[in-house]
Structure formats: C-alpha cells, structure tokens
Amino acid sequence: MQINNDYTAFVGTNPLSDNTSSLGTSGKIPVAPKESFDTLFDAEVRRSEEGIRFSKHALNRISQRDISIEPDLITKVASAVDNAEEKGITDALILGGNSAFIVNVPTRTVITTMNSNEMKENVITNIDGTVII
C-alpha cells in the first residue's frame, strides 16, 4: 500500500472480497487523515447530551490551563445554565469548585474558562449574573 499526499491509498487488491470494482478504476480508496485529540474532544463536547457547547477559545483555555472537565461538572454547568436562563441572565459567570466558566446563556455556549489561579485578583466584565454550583 502506498499513501499519497491527497490522503488516498493505492491498494492492489481488496482483502475483504474478490470484487475490486468498488475501488474504482484507479484502485485508490480514501484514507481519512488522523484527527488530533483537540479535534476529537471538541466534537465530543459539542455532542454533549447535557446541552452545552464549548467555544474553540474555551477549549484552548481548558487545555492551556489544565482544567479537568468531568461529566459530573458538565452536568452541573448545564443545570446552572438552566437556572441562569430562568432568571433572564444573558451572560453568566458560573463558579464551581476550582473553575469558573463564562457562558452565553441564549446559545448555551461556554465562552471561556478559568482555574483558581486565573481568578485571583482578576476583574470579570460583560456578565449580568453569577451562578454558584
């Protein structure tokens, strides 16, 4: 097998069957490029059953700041977003344990995250409510 720059692979025969007509006349089948961990994590978080999403910026901050995101925490943040929505909050600061999340409530999107070190002596602007979990 030979891998080309266009992410196709040349295969002489199809090992799963004797019929190679599915390979087309060139004998090439598409090979997906390897996905990075960040790409996979981003896709999984966006499919979250809890109904919140993380912006690309927030995902970068999670990685840079070594913030642990457990399923239980995502559930609590989603519940806090529900509470903020009930109170009419548009941009919420959600505080939980050693982490803080800035969330756009109408889109249910976490805009950025901070750990306890970034929260010290920091001013947080452009929020209209806080939920403590």
Please name the residues in contact with 37: beta carbons below 8 A apart, sequence gap of 6 or more: none
Res. 128 pLDDT band, cuts 50 70 90: very high
Predicted TM-score (pTM) of the model is 0.62
Rounded to the nearest 5 percent, the helix, strand and coil shares of the chain are 30, 25, 45
Scanning the structure block, which residue is given the tokens 């913030």?
A: 67
Q: Using CB atoms within 10 Å of the CB of residue 123, give its burial: 0 to 12 exposed, 13 to 18 middle, 19+ buried.
A: exposed
What pLDDT is attached to residue 103?
97
14 has pLDDT over 60: no
DSSP element (H, E) containing 33? none
Task: Give the distance between the most distant pair of CA atoms in the chain.
Answer: 68
DSSP state of 92: E
15 has pLDDT over 50: no
Pick from 94, 89, 97: nearest CA to 112: 94
104-126 pLDDT, tens digit per residue, is: 999 999 999 999 888 888 889 99
What pLDDT is attached to residue 12?
38
Across the chain, mean pLDDT equals 77
Higher pLDDT, 92 or 27: 92
What pLDDT is attached to residue 43?
61
Cβ neighbours, 10 Å, residue 105: 23
Paired tokens of 15: 């090992």
